Amino acid sequence: MSDRGNAGMSRLDSFIRRLEAQRSCLDHATRLIVDLPGIVVELGLGNGRTFDHLRERVGEREIFVFERKPDPHPLCAPDAAHLIIGDLADTLPLAEHRLPGPAALAHSDIGSGDAAASGEVAALVARHLPWLLAPGAIVVSDQPLASGLLAPLALPPSVAPGRYFMYRRIA
């Protein structure tokens, strides 16, 4: 029996399931916003995998990425005009003045593996992100976001509840 939190599942299997859920949710979200104008916001760049995936899925929409310490794969980096560097506690509350308009889609990938720290960042995101979104915008998140401005959405059938989260910005 494993003491890793997922009895019978290796960390590799858990990672793969998380990435499959992330991709399914992002693909579903991009279909939901086809007729909704707006930019895309990515909270957390990492090595740029989801930024690259979104770039392929959202066409000509601008993608603005927030990252504390950017270190992406060279082929998966936003240009300087679309990269907002700094701690989310500093950059997210001021983003409304920096972004060219409301977002149709936001992806929040802020989990750190530390439940308490991830919860604190999720609370910050839940307070500030909704104000950057167009009515009807979609949020895809690796953490639950508690906000009266975000209504939970059903996940794609392939995604287990609690593995990833989706919301719609209430008008």
Whichever domain contains 64, its CATH number is 3.40.50.150
Average pLDDT over residues 118-134: 96
Q: Which domain holds residue 129?
A: 11-169
Give pLDDT tens digits for 8-21.
Answer: 789 999 889 999 99
Does residue 6 form part of some domain?
no
Does residue 4 form part of some domain?
no
Does residue 34 form part of some domain?
yes
Q: What is the mean pLDDT of the chain?
A: 93
Does residue 1 form part of some domain?
no
Does residue 3 form part of some domain?
no
Proportion of the chain above pLDDT 70, given as a percent:
96
Distance CA 40, CA 57 (A): 11
Give pLDDT tens digits for 53-97.
Answer: 999 999 899 999 999 999 899 889 999 999 999 999 999 999 999
Count up the domains in the chain and report the number.
Answer: 1
Residue 1: pLDDT band with limits 50, 70, 90 = very low
Does residue 154 form part of some domain?
yes
Does residue 20 form part of some domain?
yes
Average pLDDT over residues 151-170: 96
Does residue 5 form part of some domain?
no
Predicted model pTM: 0.92
Q: What is the pLDDT of residue 6?
A: 55
